[in-house]
Structure 1
Amino acid sequence: MPAEADVHQLDEGLFAVTGNAAVQEALAHPLIVAEHPLKASARAFGPNMLDADGPSHRAFRALLAPILSAGRIAEYKQALMPRLVHGLVDSIAGIETDTFYDSFAHRVPYGIVCAILGIDASLEDRFHELTRPLARLLDYPTQETDETHANVTELLRLIEEQRAAKTAGAHSLLETIERTRDRKGISLTDGEVRSTALLFFLAGTETSSAFITSLVYCLGRGIFRLDELRDETIRDAYIEEVLRLYPPVQTIVRFASEDLTVQGVEVPRHSAVLASIAGANRDPQVFDHPDRFQTGRNLKGSIPFAAGGHACPGARLAKTEFSLLIQELIQRCSDVVITRDRLGMESQSFSHPTDFSVEFRTR
């Protein structure tokens, strides 16, 4: 796309937004909305947080707020995450693998979200099997199949079954958000609550799985020695720079509800607007040498978790998870090394490097 432009018309009714300021404007624009009747996610899940706007979206987010509060994340960090992170690192320490994403990256995020949802740990692999084919339902356009609809139905059944069994008691996501709904008088049905819980599960696990893969890939490229990341400040800066370069969601699809302009470009009503998080995070007008991995740079303008009213509510939870993973790798491994790299990249749905082998060398 022309470097001198930030908003590009790709076809009739289809626009791509790539510049940092333009992407942030588009994501915060009150007339550029998430809701569209043809979105596969809306058809599969019904009314839900990802596809709602305005008061409905705020109501959905209010349900998740208690689950993602600073206090609750501190509890997860103390009582839940260490066991999961230790289990993951225990399974990879001393091995070389070319299937890190498929075989290992999901274990911590799935474990966390299953625990939050109140799903028994014995069902985590089943949830992973059912959930992964649904990832592309978050794209637009995408192809729905009998399998994806059957998977949604089965996942909702399992969630309800586990809720009835009270696996996680009063602290499960469903119990918490239903209490919040009733206490605040939020007008959402039980079905809408379950759909939001399932989408929270899908988005939270798949974005984290993708980013953990990117994180391990960057560690394996030898940009830093592991021991340098013992310092929390350096470790946090490292994670933020990986997030800038490898945001797990590269493109967000929105729709123009009315005729409008973005950075002076006219966008007609009903147009699809593709907001490029990847483009915004590598805008040379904002970041010097934007394709270079460089910790310590000014990251104002980096939006790996999007921006505006739909910005990811689980960002703090995810960053806590990533930091603990690096700390555990430091304790167990002397080095993480990419041993084969064909520079592949999965850029659809949840983005991450592909077609590489990585070795986790123990101390």
Structure 2
Amino acid sequence: MSVTGTAYSPDLTSDEFQTNPWPIYQRLRNTDPVHYSAQASAFLVVKHADVAAALSDRRLISDFPMRASRRLYGPTVLDSEGQQHREMRQLFAPMFGVSGVKRWREEILVPVVEEVLDAVGDATEVDFAEQIAVAVPYGVVTRLLGLPPGDAPWIRPRVKPLAGVIDLPPAPLDDARAAKKELADYWEHLLAERVTGERPTLIDLLVPPGQAVDPAQLSTAILFLLAGTETSVATISTVMHTVLAHGIEPDALLDDRFRTQVLRETLRWEPPTHSVLRYAATSMEIRGVRIPRRAALLLSLGSANRDEEAFADPDTWRPERTETRNLTFGAGPHTCLGIQLAMAEFDVLFERMARRYGRLRPGAPLAPLRGHVFRAPEHLRLAWQRRERIA
């Protein structure tokens, strides 16, 4: 059947949608769950069952030549399908599996978190977003990729335009291309002078020592740099924002089980990425709505995570929640490759903070969360009281 939908069509770039999309998602779930947005030139899919099915549906693909990320990076693990996609994932799987993450936890995660917290010193108030939420992911990813950690302040301003081009509304592609070229030139210089250590880094897997640098390999490395930083920056800020808003004390976060529940529920309740893009490889239907071949679909992870048919009382933040159908990290062939590493990073940070600080309070009124693909508080100041003895 053809799409007629309802007269209601939300403005996806409005302040309302960027800051409080939840009533909009609910209205669409109830009245128009496969909504065509002329503004986005895409179908917005908002029901949990439909999003979950679509993420595993082989008729919906990421590989599309006019996609902004494809035009910027070329074929990568993000924008490939089939055998090519499987081979790319298999290359990195050992580094992101259980044994790999166990190694990174001790060799990188704990030292980086301790270094970041040490740098704060005895300050009683910090700009949490910049001093902690940015510093930890960039400290981790630079080490994973074999980059000098001290270069992170130079790297981030060049990563931000790469993030902007896949956000909603998108930033200019020309800005992202210029930033990508700077990062590629920087990386080529480092690779020409690298000394391989005992343990390979991600860049050693992509560009084995002695091998000529392929632009496609550099593009994949730059994509990993983006994927491992800005989503984690958003998540860390959002978890702290949620902890403060709900009055959770550090002593509670010392409990491993409760800390894990807090992380998982926050990722469901306020995911850092609200939608992922797919394209129809063939004509198809979802809930009786015809999806033409080559049509774009925005699969709404944010709406799916608040669907009343998947979660009881979905708009309430409940760490003790037992439902496990959270779609924040995706599902199917394109499930986030770094999910275990990301969860370990968040766990180490909040566990080590809880050891050091016995009291957490907002240092300023909590700002609303904002954004769509990279959603986080606009700013976050934190007042804390150091424990006399580290727990």
Q: TM-score, normalised by structure 2?
A: 0.84
Q: CA deviation at 1:145?
A: 4.6
Aligned to 2:6: none
Q: Deviations for 1:56-108, whole angstroms, at most 9, x for unmatched residues?
A: 222221222132122221111112111211122234464334x4324431211
Determine if the alignment matches structure 1 residue 174 to structure 2 residue 203: yes
1:207 aligns with 2:231: yes
What SS does the aligned partner of 2:96 have?
A: coil
Q: Which moved more, 1:66-75 or 1:320-329?
A: 66-75
Rounded Cα–Cα distance in structure 2 between residues aligned with 1:147 and 1:87: 33
Match of 1:185 in 2: none
Question: What residue ranges of structure 1 are gaps of 5+ in the alignment?
Answer: 183-188
**Cα displacement (A) at 1:14:** 2.3
> Residues of 1 paired with 2:175 and 2:83: CA distance?
32
Counterpart position of 1:104: 132
Task: Give the match's secondary structure for 1:220.
Answer: helix
Partner-residue secondary structure (3-state), 1:9 = strand
Other structure's SS at 1:312 match: coil
Does 1:194 find its partner at 2:218?
yes
Q: Once structures 1 and 2 are overlaid, which stretch shifts more, 262-271 or 87-96? A: 87-96
Which residue of 1 is the match for residue 150 of structure 2?
Answer: 122
Once the two structures are TM-superposed, the CA of residue 16 in structure 1 deviates from its matched residue by: 0.7
1:82–1:324 CA contact under 8 A, matched in 2: yes
SS of 2:117's equivalent? helix
CA distance in 1, matches of 2:169, 2:315: 29
- Residue 138 of structure 1 aligns to a residue in which SS? coil
Superposed, 1:28-39 pairs within 5 Å as 28-39=56-67
Equivalences for residues 182-261 of structure 1 within 5 A: 190-261=214-285
The whole-number CA distance in structure 1 between the counterparts of 2:117 and 2:182 is 31
Q: 1:353 to 1:143 in 2, by over 3 A?
A: closer
Counterparts of 1:166 and 1:67 in 2: how far apart (Å)?
20
Match for residue 114 of structure 2?
86
CA distance in 2, matches of 1:154, 1:100: 28
2:322 counterpart of 1:298: yes
Q: After alignment, is 171-180 or 220-229 more displaced?
A: 171-180
Q: 1:53 to 1:329 in 2, by over 3 A?
A: same
Contact 1:49 1:61 in 2 (8 A): yes
Paired with 1:224 and 1:103, the residues of 2 have a C-alpha distance of 21
Verify: 1:2 aligned to 2:31, yes or no.
no
User: Partner letter of residue 107 of structure 1?
Assistant: A
Give aligned pairs, total: 355
Equivalent residue, structure 1, for 2:5 = none
Q: 1:119–1:168: 8 Å Cα contact kept in structure 2?
A: no
Q: Percent identity over the alignment?
A: 29
One-letter amino acid matched to 2:262:
Y
| Cα shift readout 1:322-343 (whole Å, capped 9, x = no counterpart) | 1111111111111221243354
Q: Which amino acid aligns with 1:2?
A: L
Pair 145,287 (structure 1): closer, same or farther in 2 beyond 3 Å:
closer
Moved more, 321-330 or 136-145: 136-145
Go from structure 1 to structure 2 and tell me whether the alpha carbon gap of 1:264 and 1:91 turns closer, same or farther (over 3 Å shift). farther
Q: Distance in 1 between matches of 2:361 and 2:196?
A: 38
Distance in 2, Cα, partners of 1:233 & 1:310: 28
Q: Is the 8 A contact 2:29 2:47 kept in 1?
A: no
Q: Which moved more, 1:147-156 or 1:16-25?
A: 147-156
Asked if structure 2 preserves the Cα contact closer than 8 Å seen for 1:7 and 1:17, the reply is yes
Distance 2:215 2:202 in 1: 14
* 1:287 shift after superposition: 0.9
The CA distance in 1 between the partners of 2:92 and 2:244, in whole Å, is: 35
Contact (CA 8 Å) 1:222, 1:337: kept in 2 or not?
no
**Aligned partners of 2:168 and 2:372 also within 8 Å:** no
Q: Which residue identity is paired with 1:18? A: V
Does residue 278 (structure 1) correspond to residue 302 (structure 2)? The answer is: yes
Alpha-carbon distance in 1 for matches of 2:323, 2:367: 25
Q: Secondary structure at the match of 1:361?
A: strand
Structure 2 stretches lacking a partner, 5+ long: 1-26
Q: Secondary structure at the match of 2:368?
A: strand
1:273 partner letter: L
Verify the 8 A CA contact 2:161 2:171 in the aligned structure 1: no
Q: Is the 8 A contact 2:301 2:327 kept in 1?
A: yes
